[in-house]
Chains A and B, each alone.
Chain A
Amino acid sequence: MDKRLQKIAAIEIVVLLAIWQVLASLEWIPAYLSSPYVVGREMWALLISGDLFTNAASSLYRSLISFLLVMVLGIVFGIVSGFFKPIGTFFQPIVDVLNPVPKIALLPILMVWFGISDTTRILLIFLTAFFPCFIATKDGVHGVKQVFVWAAENMGASKLQILWKVVLPASLPKIFDGLRVSLGLTFVMMFSSEMIGSSNGLGLGFMILLADMAGRTDLMFVSVFFIALLGFLFDRILLAVRARLLWWSENRG
């Protein structure tokens, strides 16, 4: 997004907030839709008391641990099963069957096995976010030019060196495409795993659940805004890392 579009985006957000505020102050929309002023005030109060940070921190802890697991396991498994064909074909049917399953359906089962705990949530987020990363990595490895691999072999590189120095960098652009989808999913599942199964503890999704039960839509808007903000920020961070690592690649995020 270039500078001009950023400016338009900023204007659009301000206009939307203004319309919302005007509608709310004229009481043309029902009171439960709150208003930007009230939401802002509540957000400030929560920021001062630090509640927002503790909730956001425990949500982030879950989603970032899962994302780290996805990154490591997804890329390693993706490269191994993309490079060594027999391993790839062995696991392919499992991936085909598990990929389209809405992983959230596994929540009741995981809850019975591991309890209503962080383990369950991290596992659920991991299961959802793993497949896009794995599939993109595998695709990326398949797209690596055979000539590169042959050249490395000719120059006497070992299998490990080929994987680390040739295959991994060459498939990085694809890997980042997959990681971006995975990152988005970790935030979706972070919210869902906290909403469903009456969790108790800390978390932004739990904040929404509590506010919902109390009928406090203003607090719901605060948490929704914060989840959106976190999702947006981490996407930007990923794109920045990508731009730094892939300076040689033509299509930068």
Chain B
Amino acid sequence: MKKGWKWLIEYQSLIWIVVAWELVVFLQIMPERLFPSLSKVLVVAFELITTGMLIDNLPITLFRVFAGFALAAVVGVPLGLLMSRSKLLNDLVQPIFSLGFPVPRVALYPILVFILGLGSASKITMIFLECLFPIVLNTYYGSTRVGKLYLWAAQNMGANRSQVFWRVLLPATMPSIFTGLKIALPMAFIIAILTEMIGATAGMGYLLTYMSASLMQEKVLACVVLITVVGYLLNLLIQKIQQKYVYWQ
């Protein structure tokens, strides 16, 4: 009971928002067509789940998110680590990342559509490009900041190159790698929704634009609620993985 009360106090702001929202609906300050009550939105969201609309679209979006994200991680982490080890590679690659970092890369998406079509390929490429930057940069800066003392100590104790890498450098860089991954995964989800809204025939972003064409606000809001829940869960997932594998932090 006491725990429940504490929980209520901690999350009171959310409750106030819900109350304020329902009051606006109840007093009919905004026309109901534009401002549906939250209970109605939840009912519609539940309908979307039971009628299979969610099952039809969510896996497609998640596939794009994870494919792009995984590709970026598989390419980005080794690239970042190698950049910190090899001066030549760093000289070649660093300028591209410094120049490309502040540029809004999504603007390339319409051109990618021309090259790769409207299907998953262009979306996964876009997600890959967008995720690559935070992963590479965080890995690179993380591994350049690994204490020299650790490396010297390992070398002194007779560790060979691969041992130094696997036993010292990689674990010491792990927290920074996860910082990059934690920025990249929500980004991947945002880009997936965004590119699906620009043009797609399936996926959560498509579902959202499809629903908004019906001009029924409760349906659109239900989609937003579902997207919010998925985004929140993705965040939670990467945090749990981090806690499991970087437990020493």
Contacts and interface: CB of A to CB of B under 8 A. Distances in A.
A102 B232 CA distance: 10
Given A113-B34, A232-B102, A5 B194 contact: no
A107 interface: yes
A93 B34 contact: no
A104 B99 contact: no
Interface string B161-205: 000000000000000000000000010011001100110000001
Contact of B231 (A4, A89, A102, A209): A102
A6 to B, nearest CB: 7
Contact of A104 (B12, B94, B190): B190
- Among B14, B34, B111, B205, the most chain A Cβ lie within 10 Å of the Cβ of B111
Contacts of B29: none
B103 A5 contact: no
Interface stretch (A69-77, A169-177, A190-198): A190-198
Contacts of B217: 109, 112
Contacts, number: 139
B95 interface: yes
B89 to A, nearest CB: 12
Interface residues of A, number: 55
Q: Which of B95, B193, B205, B227 has the largest number of chain A CB atoms within 10 A?
A: B95
Contacts of A92: 13
A60 B33 CA distance: 34
A26 interface: no
A232 B14 contact: no
B58 to A, nearest CB: 14
Interface stretch (A47-55, A141-149, A217-225): A217-225
Given A12-B96, A100-B228, A113-B34, A228 B103 contact: yes
Given A112-B217, A196-B198, A231-B103, 16 more contacts: A1-B98, A6-B95, A33-B114, A33-B115, A89-B10, A97-B228, A100-B186, A100-B234, A102-B194, A109-B217, A188-B104, A191-B104, A195-B198, A220-B111, A232-B103, A236-B102
Interface of B: 10-14, 17, 34, 91-92, 94-96, 98-99, 101-104, 106-108, 110-111, 113-115, 186, 189-190, 193-194, 197-198, 205, 208-209, 211-212, 215, 217, 220-221, 223-224, 227-228, 231-232, 234-235
> Top 4 A-B pairs ranked by shortest CB distance?
A235-B102, A9-B95, A108-B212, A102-B190
15 contacts: A1-B94, A8-B92, A9-B99, A12-B92, A32-B114, A94-B17, A97-B14, A105-B228, A195-B110, A195-B198, A220-B110, A221-B111, A228-B103, A235-B101, A235-B102
